[in-house]
Structure formats: C-alpha cells, structure tokens
Amino acid sequence: MPFLTACQRFPMSNFASHLHAILADSPAGRLDFARVMDLALYHPELGYYGPGPRRIGRSGDFFTAVSVGPLYGRLLAVLAGQVHRELGEPADFLVIEQAAHDGQLAADLLEVGAFNLCLVEPNPRYEVVQRERLAAHAGRVRWVSQLADLPEVPALFVCNELPDAMPVQLLRWVQGAWRQLLVEINPAGGFCLVPAAIEDPRLAAEAERLPRDLAEGHTLEVGLAALDWLQALAQAPFYGRVWVADYGLDAEERHASQRAAGSLRRYRDHQCDERVLEDLGDCDLTAHVDFSRLREQATACGFAERGYEHQGRRLGRLAVDWLRSLEGRPPDAATSALLRQYQSLTHPAFLGRSFRVLELDKPKRAAATES
C-alpha cells in the first residue's frame, strides 16, 4: 500500500507551497484527507478543477462516458422521454444536470431531445464555458448555482461521475480499531499519511458501520460529502427521477481482501497509480463510490430505489429500439461510429461493468399546511 505508507518527496508546486502553509498553521500540523482532497481538486486557483474545465478523452487525463461520443447523451434523451411520459407529459418538464463540466453531455441531450434543461453549476468559470457550448440552444437552458435553487417541477435529474469526485476520508484498520489517516509534512518536505484516533462523531458513526474482522492495514474511503449531497438532493424542490452513473463498488467488494489498499487513486495523462500525495493540484484524485452506503442513504432521505445495475445492462435496454432499427441494413459511417461507442459504453471489458447506474424516484413534496 505505497500511498499509505511512504513519505513522498517531490518538487514544490504552487499547490504544495499553499498546503505547506495551511499545515503549518493547523493544530498539530495535520489535516484530514478529505480537506486536502477538497483543496487539491477545487481550490479556485490552484486546484485541479477549480480554474475551469479540464480536457477529457484522448487529450486529457482520463475518459468518461461522455467523452466516448454523443451516444451516451442520446440514450439519456431516450430515458428523458420515458420519464416524461411516466409523469403524464407535463409541459414544464425539465432535464437537470449537475456537474456538467464543459457542457458536452447537455449539448448531446439537447441535440436530440425536445425538452428544456437546467444546469446546476456553482463555478462561474464553468458556466461561461457551458454557455458558449450551448449557445445554439440558449432559449432552452437555464442555470442555478445550487440544488436548493431548482424549480419545483417534474424532472429527470442526471449526473455522470459526480460522487467519485467528492472528497473522502480515509480509514485504516490498525490493531483492532479503525483509525483515521491524516496528512502531515514529513521531514523531507513532502507529505505523508499518518493514523490517528477518530475525533469527528459523524466519521466515528460511519466507522461503526464497518466490519471489524478485516486484515491489519485494510483501508477504506468514507464519503461523508456524498451522503450530504444526497441529503441536499432530497431537499431540492424538483420531483421525478434521479440518474446517478459512476464507477463504484458494493460493500462486499470494498471489504474483500484483494481490495485491502482501498480504491483511492490519482489520474494523470491516462496513468493511474496510488501516489495520491504527489502532484497535488495537477492531477485528478478519485475513489470508487460506495454504492451500498449511497443506496442506504437514499432510502433514509426519502427516495425510492427504481433500479441499480451495471451500466452496460441499463444502457442496453435504453438502446433496444435504436438497435432494432438497424436490423437488415448495412451501417453507414456515422452509424458505425455510434456502434463503436455503444461497444465502449456497454461491453464488460470497457465501461459496461465498472460503471454502475443507480436510479431513484423522488416524490413531490407535500404542500405546507397553514397553521
């Protein structure tokens, strides 16, 4: 488990200098990993995502379902049509997207779907890029900065690879107890992770949910931010369907001995490794979503689970009519390209099995009664 045991030395970047200063001023010279991850990803000037959208796909650091091509958006447009019909074809129906990045998925949706769209975007720099990309659909798109500002309308809410980008705490099983891993400066001037007693009551409560028969050193991520996000999503005014697509694991997979090092990784130039304290601010940090815990939280927040399965199976059902329409005729170049995208999105060896889809039904809020 190199990223949990080694103290790493690397050239001092602007972000590293910033983190050094924060650690020097913090109690005991330590910070919990979630705080460091949040800064490394979302600091407005020095974070990986803060200054603006990163390039994805072949020229970026990683691939997503969106960067595969427009088919993913077209299939979500099929889902939007199904949800619209299930809700009685309301005139004020919206598709809502959170974490729209550069707006590519929104553009793919709007290209084929006859509905309006709302983007939840707190970062003004991202909104500028999204507005430029969606200029041709300007009359059909609106923006809000937070979930609470969404309108009370029937909707399909979609997010693609959102929870995996939320900060996580790190816990390690040490001598019969769960310990929290904190970041501190090592004597060589780099950063290292050190175990400490869990002091946060919420984190301690999450640790109580975890098994206590794992091997020494087993490490797990705890996504308190993802749980808070689901709570905020439940309290948002819209109602209808929620689509959460991400790569993740169930509890039994997270607790398996072959995953004792945890799932936290850094991505840079399509290379993935465990050296998560290197190049902070210049690389993506991500952990597999704990779908078992996310599903528990969704139920506790009042959602009804509509479905949970591998992405390949769910997208395959959305693509049935399109695939049937191709029978009996040779595909042209455009169709061949879409079929290659379908293969990438659904085949177990590509994104079809590593990505999961959680669908939730969100009820309409009861009208407040006058006292």
pLDDT of res. 368: 52
Taking the C-alpha atoms of residue 277 and residue 115, their distance in angstroms, rounded to an integer, is 43
Taking the C-alpha atoms of residue 356 and residue 365, their distance in angstroms, rounded to an integer, is 28
pTM above 0.75, yes or no: yes
pLDDT of res. 366: 76
pLDDT of res. 2: 36
pLDDT of res. 27: 86
Q: Lowest mean pLDDT of 45-59, 83-97, 171-185, name the range.
A: 45-59
Q: Tens of pLDDT along 331-350?
A: 999 999 999 999 999 999 99
How many helices, marked H, and strands, marked E, lie in the chain? 14, 16
Q: Tens of pLDDT along 295-327?
A: 999 999 999 999 999 999 999 999 999 999 999
Give yes or no for residue 54 having a pLDDT over 90. Answer: no
When pLDDT is averaged across residues 59-76 and rounded to a whole number, the result is 86
Q: What average pLDDT does the chain have? A: 93
Give the fold, CATH level 3, of 2-57+166-226+251-286: Rossmann fold (3.40.50)
pLDDT of res. 59: 53
State the DSSP code for 24: H
pLDDT of res. 63: 73
- Residue 270 contacts by C-beta under 8 Å, 6 or more apart in sequence? 61, 62, 63
Residue 169: CA count within 13 A, CB half-sphere = 25
Nearest Cα to 342, choosing from 308, 315, 309?
315
Q: Tens of pLDDT along 218-240?
A: 999 999 999 999 999 999 999 99
Q: CB–CB of 239/365 below 8 Å? A: yes
Nearest-5° angle of CA 295, CA 300, CA 302?
A: 100
